[in-house]
Chain A
Amino acid sequence: GQQLNQSPQSMFIQEGEDVSMNCTSSSIFNTWLWYKQDPGEGPVLLIALYKAGELTSNGRLTAQFGITRKDSFLNISASIPSDVGIYFCCAGKSTFGDGTTLTVKP
């Protein structure tokens, strides 16, 4: 099946720092979504992107749908301890990246 390359695999940051992660694909997709998963729980949708070039914010989160339709990034500003978790990109109907594990040190 199609694959997404999500990076970085993990991040260790101090509280208050900004975070950036991205996903790339060799295929074109018409939608990009970002989810967050807490340990032992199901993922929760953070942001959905439906148009190439679209930049969307949700509180401290900002995500962009790449103009080539082959990539997307997610930024988290001023991180807080509850941002800890695994962040997944998802392209198209159900192609998921392997996740970025975020650890925030108080």
Chain B
Amino acid sequence: DGGITQSPKYLFRKEGQNVTLSCEQNLNHDAMYWYRQDPGQGLRLIYYSQIVNDFQKGDIAEGYSVSREKKESFPLTVTSAQKNPTAFYLCASSAGILPYEQYFGPGTRLTVT
């Protein structure tokens, strides 16, 4: 079955610790994205990557970092510099930047205390 997997579904961390969220896709898509979702709000773009070894900042990149060493994988690190890291994180992929039809993973809910 083709799709996007994110792990884990729930993640708990202490304040001050970096944490890495996993995102893997087997759709052979070139583009991958990371979004943050807070309660009652839409999705806000953190980072996106159009091709391996290349990525661009989205609207809220501060306190986050990414890598794209393989086409299938786009991990997101939430660093201790992120002031309010508790949120629902969604990874998505698309065949390219055009068309924009994105396929989403199931999400990771991160709680930092």
Shortest distance from the beta carbon of B52 to any chain A beta carbon, whole Å: 19
Q: Decide: B42 and A50 in contact? CB cutoff 8 A.
A: no
Are A41 and B99 within 8 A (Cβ)? no
Structural contact, A42 and B48, CB atoms closer than 8 A: no
B17 at the interface (CB under 8 A from A): no
* Count of residues in A whose CB is under 8 Å from the partner chain: 23
Contact count band on B: 20 to 34
B-chain residues with CB within 8 Å of residue A94 when the two chains form the complex? 33, 35, 43, 45, 48, 58, 100, 102
Q: Which of chain A's residues have a CB closer than 8 A to the CB of B44?
A: 96
Say whether B99 contacts A1, CB under 8 Å. Answer: no
Question: Which positions in A face B, CB cutoff 8 Å?
Answer: 1, 4, 6, 31, 33, 35, 40-45, 48, 50, 88, 90, 92-94, 96-99
Q: Using a CB–CB distance below 8 Å, which chain B residues touch chain A?
A: 4, 33, 35, 40-45, 48, 58-59, 90, 92, 97, 99-107, 109
